[in-house]
Amino acid sequence: MANIKTEPFDMKYLSDYYTEFDAEITKYQWPDPFESIDDAKELLQEFIDELGRDETLFLSVLSETGEFLGSVEVHGLDEDCPELGVWIKKSEWSKGYAYQALKAALDIAKSKYGKTEFFYEADTRNVGSRKLLDKFKGEYDIEAQAAEALTTDSGKELKLQGFILTLKEG
């Protein structure tokens, strides 16, 4: 498995983010693809601003050669149980990059912000996200919450299930 790098998101990846965050990526997520690159820039700038205020970790996921692969976020660092998010572009699925990226973000959240409990949410039909969560069972106790059927503003029907990840002692 090739290694990835994570670094604070930079707008030089705006076009890649906008292009790759498409209908397939968002199929089982609350957000939809961006309607325009300006919409993408506006939201990503909000995340960058939150990063600057230590409210969010917003990291680009890059290949060893610097190719943009996706992003990983930890939102709500000022809360007891921040929310995790990760996505990898379709052409790079099933290569272990989401695990590496999420592990890097969790490690930073723990070492820099002292966080040991996190919220992760995935649609019950999103097999990849569910498998990803299983990879953390050695380090984290994972408590499933009740699944909830929701319809997004754009009409997507989701069945979201939340999980609380708590770092194991020792």
Of how many residues is the chain composed? 170
Owner of token pair 């299983």:
134
Cα 46 from Cα 44, distance rounded (Å): 5
**How does pLDDT run across 34-85, given as a tens digit for each residue?**
999 999 999 999 999 999 999 999 999 999 999 999 999 999 999 999 999 9
**How does pLDDT run across 116-143, given as a tens digit for each residue?**
999 999 999 998 998 999 999 999 999 9
For 2, which DSSP code?
-
Give the CATH number, domain containing residue 92.
3.40.630.30
Cα 126 from Cα 105, distance rounded (Å): 21
**How does pLDDT run across 96-115, given as a tens digit for each residue?**
999 999 999 999 999 999 99
Is the per-residue pLDDT at 1 higher than 70?
A: no
Beta bridge partners of 86: 72
Q: What is the number of domains present in the chain?
A: 1
Is the per-residue pLDDT at 169 higher than 90?
A: no
Is the per-residue pLDDT at 149 higher than 90?
A: yes
In the numeric block, which tokens belong to residue 155?
Answer: 């009409």
Averaged pLDDT score across all residues of the chain: 95
Cα 157 from Cα 161, distance rounded (Å): 13
- What range does the domain containing 87 cover? 4-167
